[in-house]
């Protein structure tokens, strides 16, 4: 089974635009789980422009499936996740002013830093996932650093899907196999949507979870969130 984790950052963005509590981020997370989501993802950034650190604390007792917290492992971020203890922490190399994730880690160049961070997560009993591209050597470095999983940065696949989907997915198939051989679980995310998700999920030999936010919330404007979650779950059926 490939799990669907819903990233609710965009819901918080909408809430923050009015400075009140509508939509209610915490209730939205509860409803997503009730409607079939198998996980909730948040990505608190230093400027708290969408998910706030206070949101993370409030969400922790409410999320009953899998809570995944993404972010750059600053000391503030690490203090948060070690207190909250989600099921999974996904380490991303975002700078403090980046609009969104645009690349995976160069693991070898950051090996000592990531190894220390992953060790702290492992000691706390938190599954660690490292956001990476498709280079097999880089993936093997993530395994040597002690990670439990990788999350594949899928924008290159999404960009190439319409032109040549077989060529676009080929590096991800290889990456999935390399990760599995290295003992890593495989997650994926970024620009996956109802057009390209089913092919991606069926092509990869090993895939544990996808994390999707922007496309899910965009589709929900037209379809409603319950129908949208159902449609994404259908794409992930094996």
The residue-averaged pLDDT of 159-173 equals: 98
CATH topology of domain 3-235: TIM Barrel (3.20.20)
pLDDT (0 to 100) of residue 238: 75
State how far the Cα of 94 lies from the Cα of 105, in Å rounded to an integer: 9
pTM over the 0.85 mark = yes
pLDDT (tens digit per residue) in 169-220: 999 999 999 999 999 999 999 999 999 999 999 999 999 999 999 999 999 9
Q: Which residue numbers are catalytic?
A: 43, 70, 190
State how far the Cα of 129 lies from the Cα of 109, in Å rounded to an integer: 17
162 CB-side CA count, 13 A: 5
pLDDT (tens digit per residue) in 72-113: 999 999 999 999 999 999 999 986 665 566 689 999 999 999
> What backbone phi and psi angles, to 5 degrees, belong to 66?
-130, 130
State how far the Cα of 164 lies from the Cα of 161, in Å rounded to an integer: 6
Give residue 85's region: left, alpha or beta (phi > 0; psi -120 to 50): left
CB 7 within 8 A of CB 43: yes
State how far the Cα of 120 lies from the Cα of 42, in Å rounded to an integer: 20
Strand partners, 181: none
**E strand spans, the chain:** 3-7, 39-42, 67-71, 88-91, 127-132, 149-153, 185-189, 209-212
Where do runs of H (alpha helix) occur along 61-109?
Answer: 75-84
Closest CA relative to residue 38, chosen from 177, 173, 197, 230: 230
State how far the Cα of 100 lies from the Cα of 83, in Å rounded to an integer: 25
pLDDT (0 to 100) of residue 95: 66
pLDDT (0 to 100) of residue 100: 60
The residue-averaged pLDDT of 124-145 equals: 98
The residue-averaged pLDDT of 221-236 equals: 98
**Domain map of the chain by residue range?**
3-235
pLDDT (tens digit per residue) in 38-65: 999 999 999 999 999 999 999 999 999 9
pLDDT (0 to 100) of residue 140: 98
């Amino acid at each position: 089974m490939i799990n669907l984790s819903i990233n609710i950052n965009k819901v918080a963005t909408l809430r923050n635009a009015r400075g009140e509590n509508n939509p209610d981020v915490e209730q939205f997370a509860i409803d997503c789980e009730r409607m079939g989501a198998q996980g909730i993802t948040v990505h608190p950034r230093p400027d708290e422009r969408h998910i706030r650190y206070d949101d993370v604390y409030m969400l922790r007792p409410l999320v009953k499936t899998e809570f995944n917290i993404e972010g750059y492992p600053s000391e503030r971020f690490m203090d948060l996740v070690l207190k909250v203890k989600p099921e999974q922490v996904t380490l991303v190399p975002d700078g403090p002013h980046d609009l969104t994730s645009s690349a995976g880690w160069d693991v070898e160049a950051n090996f000592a830093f990531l190894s220390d961070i992953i060790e702290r997560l492992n000691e706390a009993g938190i599954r660690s996932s490292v956001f990476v591209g498709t280079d097999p050597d880089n993936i093997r470095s993530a395994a040597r650093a002690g990670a439990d999983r990788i999350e594949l940065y899928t924008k290159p696949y999404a960009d190439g899907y319409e032109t040549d989907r077989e060529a676009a997915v080929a590096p991800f198939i290889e990456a999935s196999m390399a990760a599995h051989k290295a003992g890593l679980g495989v997650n994926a995310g970024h620009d996956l949507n109802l057009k390209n998700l089913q092919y991606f999920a069926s092509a990869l030999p090993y895939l544990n979870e996808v994390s999707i936010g922007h496309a899910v919330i965009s589709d929900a404007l037209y379809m409603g969130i319950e129908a949208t979650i159902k449609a994404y779950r259908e794409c992930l059926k094996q």
